[in-house]
Amino acid sequence: MKIIGITGTLGAGKGTIVDYLTKHHGFQHFSVRGYLSKLIKAKGGEVNRDSLVATANELRAQNSPSFIAEELYREAKESGKDCIVESIRTVGEVNALHAKGNFTLFAVDAEQKLRYVRIVERASETDRIGFETFVENEKREMNSTDPNKQNLSACMQLADYRFMNDGSFNELYRELDKVLVKIK
């Protein structure tokens, strides 16, 4: 059993990696967004980027910086299958999951304008924003000194494997396959 975490910038291809690993390699998917969305909806709230970030930050502040990822890691481990936990966003999450062993962190990035085009095209409930808002959201999530808040830049630096996803799906899949051979 292998547990992979994924981190990366907005629209870089985290979901593409998840889809590939679940459909072609039999991984089970555990989603921070899904976990948080259930909590927000249970309280009657609206799911959007702001409510997701606020709920995550609140849970981390009340419990620990690694709380959400550790909950999903526990569920993944209980499944007994190869799993991917998406998306890791704090240094505390990275450190806690690495300390558990049997954990590999992938980071994915791509050029900013390409990533914006991707989020516009996927048109999920949290992606209906202008480019300026996209850039502001990214700035807010890249470098927080608060351990309970997102620091994607530091998480990406701590990754075991990094993928630059500026090319085709097949190019990304080939890179993923090379890494999977190494870690399995």
Q: What is the per-residue pLDDT for 177?
A: 97
CA distance 114 to 23: 25
Angle, alpha carbons 49-33-24 (nearest 5°): 130
Which residue type sits at 181? Answer: V
Give the tens place of pLDDT for each residue, 81-109. 999 999 899 899 999 999 998 899 999 99
Residue 126 carries which DSSP code? T
CA distance 13 to 102: 23
Q: What is the per-residue pLDDT for 74?
A: 94
* Cβ atoms of residues 8 and 156 within 8 Å: yes
Q: What is the per-residue pLDDT for 126?
A: 63
Q: What is the per-residue pLDDT for 36?
A: 96
What the block records as the tokens of 5 is: 């975490």
Q: What is the per-residue pLDDT for 16?
A: 95
Q: What is the per-residue pLDDT for 127?
A: 63
Rounded to two decimals, what is the model's pTM?
0.90
* Cβ atoms of residues 162 and 155 within 8 Å: no
The correct CATH number of 3-183 out of 3.40.50.720, 3.40.50.300, 2.30.42.10, 3.30.565.10 is 3.40.50.300
Of the ranges 42-46, 123-127, 154-158, 172-176, which one carries the lowest mean pLDDT score?
123-127
Q: What is the per-residue pLDDT for 125?
A: 59
Give the tens place of pLDDT for each residue, 13-27. 999 999 999 999 999
64 pLDDT exceeds 70? Answer: yes
pLDDT bin (cut points 50, 70, 90) of residue 147 is: confident
Angle, alpha carbons 137-138-141 (nearest 5°): 90
Q: What is the per-residue pLDDT for 108?
A: 98
